[in-house]
Structure 1
Amino acid sequence: MDRLARIRSEEKIYHDQCYDSSKLFEPGSWLHKPVTTVINLINKYKDQEYISILDLGAGVGRNSIPIAESIKHRNGKVVCVDLLESAIAKLKSYSQQFGVEPYIVPILSDIEHFSIEPNEYDIIVAVSSLEHVSSAQVLEQKLSEMNTGTRAGGTNCIIIASNIREMHLENKQELDPMFEVNLSTERMLELLDQKYAGWEVQQRFVKHMTYEISRNGEPVKLTSDCITYVAKKSQSY
């Protein structure tokens, strides 16, 4: 199995286990609540009559279900893209459960093969997903696509890991991190600044994160820098 296939397999195992063992919005996992940055961003567009939102790596709807709930009394759509069949199946179920099915457009696809149409979206959200495209080159291409896919006055909200390390907790052995894209924090920020030159950068900060995860049933310490990057496109584009 090549490295990319191995990473995708690990990703599927991890997320399938999480989605099976944790219910959306119940305490005890990262599915407990949506990302505050995302919800605050949606609120800035509350007076817009029609809103088109893209959630790249939507999972079971941690962010897209609350987004859809916030647009229930106006026109809009939340296009939800995810690679995992289990995620899309649960997203459909949760969208029925929370009464937002008419607003959710579930799409089974990996991010890099999902085509973002030019000037299609007011908001594009990518939370912990762009580091799972197949290469740094593909990441650059996808950021460019997100750029052109955003309408004038629209916003991109990116939360992405950089400087990722994995270490076996018991023998302290450094492992190959199971992430397709693993840039240094400096390089990732440089890339984002380059792609969003001319946009109004509203948030740009780094938070160091440490988790304990399981790899092949073994305890592993995962550390990374978590970059939050929110940029708004000029009205004059």
Structure 2
Amino acid sequence: MDHIQRIREEEKRYHESCYENYRLFEEGSWLHKPVKTVIDSFCMLSQNEKIKVLDLGSGVGRNSIPIAQNMVDREGDVVCVDILESALQKLKQYSKQYGVENKIKAIQSDIGTYSMGTNEYDFIVAVSCLEHVDSEQTLDNVLSRIEAATKGNGINCLIVNSELEEIDMQTNENLNPLIEVNLSTTEMLNKLQQAYYGWKLLQSTIKPLSFQINRDNKAVLLKTNAVTYVVQKQ
């Protein structure tokens, strides 16, 4: 198994465990509520009578279902792309449970190769998934495709991890982080600024985060600088 395969197997194991053990919008995990910045950014398009949304790395619908609930009186849909079939199956179940199945379109794909089209979407969101493409070059290509797929006055809301560290909580040993693209925070910000040159910057923040995860039955402290970047196409 090569390095990328190992990372993806571990991420699959982690996410599927979370999806099985915690229900959407119930307290106890990061699934208990949508990302506030995502919802606030989406609401900036509240005047649009017809809206099309792309949620990259959608998972089970943490953000896409609340967005769809905000669209019940408007035309349009939420295209949800995720590499895990198990996540999309639960997304379909939750979308029925929350009465938005007619707004959700689930697509299984690696976002690194997913074709987004041109001038297709009013709102594109990508939370903690862009760093999971297979290379820095692929990240550049995906950012270019996101930019091209956004309509005029459309908004992109990205949250990307940078400077990720993993530390064995028993031995305090620094481990090799299981992440495909692990850039410095400065490098990530520069990449985003270059990709969105000419766009209107609505928000740019860096938030240090740390939380415990499980790797091979070991408690591991994961530390990262989460970069939030919200921009509007002019």
Structure 2: distance between partners of 1:158 and 1:42: 12
Question: Residue 141 of structure 1 aligns with which residue?
Answer: 141
Structure 1: distance between partners of 2:113 and 2:140: 14
Question: Residue 150 of structure 2 aligns with which residue?
Answer: 150
- Deviation, structure 1 residue 171: 1.0
Structure 1: distance between partners of 2:63 and 2:119: 22
- Deviation, structure 1 residue 109: 0.7
Question: Residue 177 of structure 1 aligns with which residue?
Answer: 177
Q: Give the 3-state SS of the residue equivalent to 2:102 in structure 1.
A: helix
- Deviation, structure 1 residue 68: 0.3
Alignment of structure 1 residues 56-135 onto 2, 5 Å: 56-135=56-135
Q: Give the 3-state SS of the residue equivalent to 1:113 in structure 2.
A: coil
Identity of aligned residues (%): 50
Q: Give the 3-state SS of the residue equivalent to 2:27 in structure 1.
A: coil
Structure 1: distance between partners of 2:22 and 2:4: 27
Is 1:23–2:23 an aligned residue pair? yes
Structure 2: distance between partners of 1:177 and 1:201: 31
Q: Give the 3-state SS of the residue equivalent to 2:138 in structure 1.
A: helix
Question: Residue 206 of structure 1 aligns with which residue?
Answer: 206
Structure 1: distance between partners of 2:16 and 2:152: 37
- Deviation, structure 1 residue 126: 0.2
Structure 2: distance between partners of 1:144 and 1:225: 23
Across the aligned residues of Structure 1 and Structure 2, the Cα RMSD in angstroms comes to 0.6
- Deviation, structure 1 residue 206: 0.2
Structure 1 unaligned regions, length at least 5: none
Count of aligned residue pairs for this structure pair? 234
AA at the equivalent of 1:100? V
Q: Give the 3-state SS of the residue equivalent to 2:51 in structure 1.
A: strand
Is 1:233–2:233 an aligned residue pair? yes
- Deviation, structure 1 residue 94: 0.3
Alignment of structure 1 residues 211-230 onto 2, 5 Å: 211-230=211-230
Structure 2: distance between partners of 1:213 and 1:23: 18
- Deviation, structure 1 residue 44: 1.3
Structure 2: distance between partners of 1:205 and 1:47: 26
Structure 2 unaligned regions, length at least 5: none
Runs of 4+ in 1 over 3 A off after TM superposition: none
- Deviation, structure 1 residue 56: 0.1
TM-score by length of 2: 0.99
